[in-house]
């Protein structure tokens, strides 16, 4: 696989997936100091630890599905309209991949390589 695909994948995982999961953990653990989030954190504090783990799993699955669906839509645009492209070092990463929407999920995919939370959190 081309280096540009991995550069994009690492950026996506660290700046979207991991940031989203991290925010959920902060809220579930009552660690946010933002005044606008205090009520939500207070309500989350009523859940058991196992409930919080389930909530976190839902968040991770939702983020992973959203990333997959976004990349699938980009792949489809590349196959047909080609009016939105993702370039890294001047190269279209969708063209370099044999299925950009699946790059995150294998045992050696982006999530396994770059995420602090692993491939199947």
With respect to residue 99, please indicate whether it lies within any of the assigned structural domains: yes
Q: Which of 39, 21, 5 is nearest to 119 (CA)?
A: 21
With respect to residue 81, please indicate whether it lies within any of the assigned structural domains: yes
- 121 has a pLDDT exceeding 50: no
Longest dimension (CA), the chain: 50
Q: 57: domain range?
A: 3-114
Phi-psi region of 99 (alpha: psi -120 to 50; beta: other; left: phi over 0): left
With respect to residue 121, please indicate whether it lies within any of the assigned structural domains: no
With respect to residue 119, please indicate whether it lies within any of the assigned structural domains: no
With respect to residue 57, please indicate whether it lies within any of the assigned structural domains: yes
Q: Give 54-109 pLDDT, tens digit per residue.
A: 999 999 999 999 999 999 999 999 888 889 999 999 999 999 999 999 999 988 99
The CA distances from residue 54 to 60, 101, 120, in Å, are 10, 25, 14
Q: Give 4-42 pLDDT, tens digit per residue.
A: 999 999 999 999 999 999 999 999 999 999 999 999 999
* Residue 103 confidence (pLDDT): 94
Number of domains in the chain: 1
């Amino acid at each position: 696989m081309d280096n540009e695909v991995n550069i994009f994948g690492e950026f996506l995982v660290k700046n979207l997936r991991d940031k989203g999961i991290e925010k959920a953990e902060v809220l579930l653990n009552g660690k946010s100091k933002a005044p606008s989030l205090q009520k939500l954190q207070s309500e989350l504090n009523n859940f058991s630890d196992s409930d919080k783990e389930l909530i976190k799993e839902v968040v991770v699955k939702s983020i992973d599905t959203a990333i997959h669906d976004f990349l699938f839509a980009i792949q489809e645009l590349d196959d047909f309209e080609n009016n939105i492209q993702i370039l890294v070092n001047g190269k279209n990463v969708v063209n370099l991949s044999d299925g950009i929407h699946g790059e995150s999920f294998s045992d050696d995919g982006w999530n396994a390589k770059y995420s602090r939370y692993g491939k199947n959190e």
